[in-house]
Chains A and B, each alone.
Chain A
């Protein structure tokens, strides 16, 4: 009989192996990534909660179908994010979801991470700064926004971003650097308005 408590002791990779033999284990994968991925979908799309849940469910089913294609050389989380990202892009192309992202919910951790790197919001009130930041992020080009979201919001490193977006590490570094510069200039503009 399947015991959910088993899941906690297993690594992602072990869960993949077990899921291939017994599908109930895939439920543990869902439990482990549901919240993170739902947040990610909401951040990168303009989807409502229901739409995001549908996208998430479709992504998980896609992941289940492709479990044998999981490359253990990648982090499982990167593989899951990749599936979600591609599914959302594909849904975007089919116009199932709106192209613009949701208003970003910027918590204090994320804010301090961005602020410490960007170092240009020092003299403004905290809530006001978050609003500037949120607006600036909304205005960024999609290609910059997606790397910044993965870097700051999802806390992915260069290798993980490279694996999720399937771009070489060098390209990710360049994109990230340009995205930061672009964000800085947008933030300055936001403050001047």
Chain B
């Protein structure tokens, strides 16, 4: 018996039939979908990397001699970048195993590893990373947002750092600031600072100086609180979003 007969007999005996076409289409669609998902997740992860890098305040961490969780969290951008890389490798692996994936080696590498960097940058610029953080905060229990970390970092009046919202002015020009715990501070300015013109009611500010007592703070420098890549990406929006954070604990009655 020749091979032809053997094969046809075997096919008949074991009742072998060709797998349906939809199985192949489904497999390929799944692989391409994983690739697309990897690009999307990778882009978001890269945008978070940019967001965290742009807003890090490691110099303040050093001033405060912060260690422990802060040290760990300062690696957050790197962790997000590693996460993005891992996910993109997974995507690359899947797309490479599609029917024609092997043909587009360079295009695949560029699409999967380089495009998410650009998408991530774009997302970060339009506030997508901050939006993603807001979602993560809502979904992932125990997730500490950048805003919370920065807020915590700057809320050390005893070490000369204060953060809060301008809620009014004294006739002397001293500023009334409401801190995240709802405490009101009289901030005395030693000299005219360069961002004074932006200092108005509702402005979010960071102050470096010295604490006189539990309600008076002598400012050496006042900075507006800025968040690069904030969503929505305007100063007004920044202020609203900042004040509107549920973990900010602003006491509306005190305003």
A residues contacting B by CB (< 8 A) are: 20, 23-24, 26-27, 30-31, 34, 53, 56-57, 60-61, 64-69, 71, 73, 162, 166-171
Contact = CB atoms under 8 A, between A and B. Distances in A.
Given A64-B16, A66-B18, A66-B19, A166 B102 contact: yes
Given A73-B100, A168-B102, A57 B7 contact: yes
A166 B99 CA distance: 9
B3 A69 contact: no
A61 B8 CA distance: 9
B28 to A, nearest CB: 9
Nearest to B12: A23
Query: Per DSSP, are chain B's interface residues mostly helix, strand or loop, or mixed?
Result: helix
A26 B7 contact: yes
A109 to B, nearest CB: 25
Interface in B128-186: none
A23 B20 contact: no
Given A23-B11, A34-B4, A57-B6, 17 more contacts: A27-B4, A27-B5, A56-B3, A60-B3, A61-B7, A61-B11, A61-B16, A68-B19, A68-B20, A68-B23, A69-B24, A162-B102, A166-B102, A167-B102, A168-B105, A169-B103, A170-B106
Nearest to A53: B3
B16 A168 contact: no
Contact of B8 (A26, A34, A71, A166): A26
A66 B4 CA distance: 18
Contacts of A65: 16-19
Nearest to B105: A168
B18 A162 contact: no
A171 B104 CA distance: 11
B21 interface: yes
A69 B105 CA distance: 21
B212 interface: no
B236 interface: no
B3, B19, B100 — most chain A CB neighbours (10 Å): B3
